[in-house]
Structure 1
Amino acid sequence: MVRHQGTGQHLDVWIERARNAGYPELRGFAAGLISDRDAVVAGLTQPWSSGPVEGHVNRIKTIKRQMYGRANLDLLRKRVLATP
Structure 2
Amino acid sequence: MRAYLRPFRESAPTGARPPTPRTVTRWILTHPDALQENDRLKLKSILVHCPELDALTRHIRAFAQILTQLQGDRLLEWITAVRADDLPSMHTFVNGLERDLDAVIAGLTLPWNSGIVEGHVNRIKMIKRQMYGRAGFALLRKRVLLA
TM-score normalised to the size of structure 1? 0.85
1:1-84 alignment runs, 5 A limit: 1-5=66-70, 7-19=71-83, 20-24=85-89, 26-83=90-147
Aligned partners of 2:73 and 2:109 also within 8 Å: no
How many percent identity over aligned positions?
56
**Unmatched segments (≥5 aa) in structure 1:** none
CA offset digits 1:20-71 (Å, max 9, x no partner)? 44243x3222101111010011111111111001011101011111110111
Identify the structure with the greater helix proportion.
2
d(CA) in 2 for partners of 1:23, 1:80: 45
Equivalences, count: 81
CA spacing shift, 1:18–1:68, aligned 2, 3 Å:
farther
Unaligned residue ranges in structure 2 (runs of 5+): 1-65
Q: TM-score, normalised by structure 2?
A: 0.51
Q: Greater CA radius of gyration, 1 or 2?
A: 2
